[in-house]
Structure 1
Amino acid sequence: MMEGESSKSIQGNIVGLKSTNAVILATDSKEYEMYLIDDRIYCCAPRSGIDRNIVLEVSSKVANLVRDRGQNVTVSQVRDMFCEKYQTAESPNVMIAGQDSRGLHLFSMECGKSRMVMYGAKGRDKENIVDFLSKDWNDFINLSEAEQLARKALRWEHVEMCTIYRAKEIEEQGANMDFDMDDETSVSPASNF
Structure 2
Amino acid sequence: MSASKNNQNLNQLASGNDSIMVGILFNDGVIIAITMTSHLIFYLDDRIYCCGRSTGYDHDSLVEVATELEEISSHTVGYKGALVAQALELLTKKYENLQDCELLLAGEDVCGLHLFTVTSDGYTGACFAALGPGADVANDYLANNWKKDMSLQEAESLVRRTIAKSRGYKAKVDLCIVFKSH
Same fold by TM (over 0.5)? yes
Q: Structure 2 matches for 1:152-191, cutoff 5 A?
A: 152-155=161-164, 156=170, 158-168=172-182
Q: CA RMSD in A?
A: 1.7
Aligned residues: 160
| 1:127-166 map, 5 Å | 127-155=136-164, 156=170, 158-166=172-180
C-alpha change, 1:50 and 1:79, in structure 2 (3 Å) is same
1:84-105 per-residue CA deviation (whole Å, 9 max, x = no partner) reads: 1110123422101000111110
Q: Identity of counterpart residues, as a percentage?
A: 26
Whether the 8 Å contact between 2:36 and 2:172 is mirrored in structure 1 is no
Query: Is 2:117 the partner of 1:117?
Result: no
Residues 23-76 of structure 1 show CA distances to partners (whole Å, capped at 9, x for unaligned) of 000011331111110111001111101111110111111010012334442001
Equivalent residue for 1:16?
A: 23
Higher strand share: 2
Q: Tell me, what secondary structure is at the counterpart of 1:94?
A: strand
Q: Indicate if the aligned counterparts of 1:83 and 1:111 stay in contact, CA closer than 8 A.
A: no
Residue-by-residue CA offset, 1:121-149 (whole Å, 9 max, x unaligned): 11111111001111100112121101000
In the alignment, structure 2 segments of 5+ residues that lack a partner are 1-16, 165-169
Task: Say which one has the larger Rg.
Answer: 2
Q: Which has the higher helix share?
A: 2
Please state if 1:57 is matched with 2:60: no
Aligned partner letter, 1:167: S
Unaligned ranges ≥5, structure 1? 1-9, 169-193
TM score, norm. by length of structure 2: 0.82
TM-score (norm 1): 0.78
Q: Which amino acid aligns with 2:37?
A: K
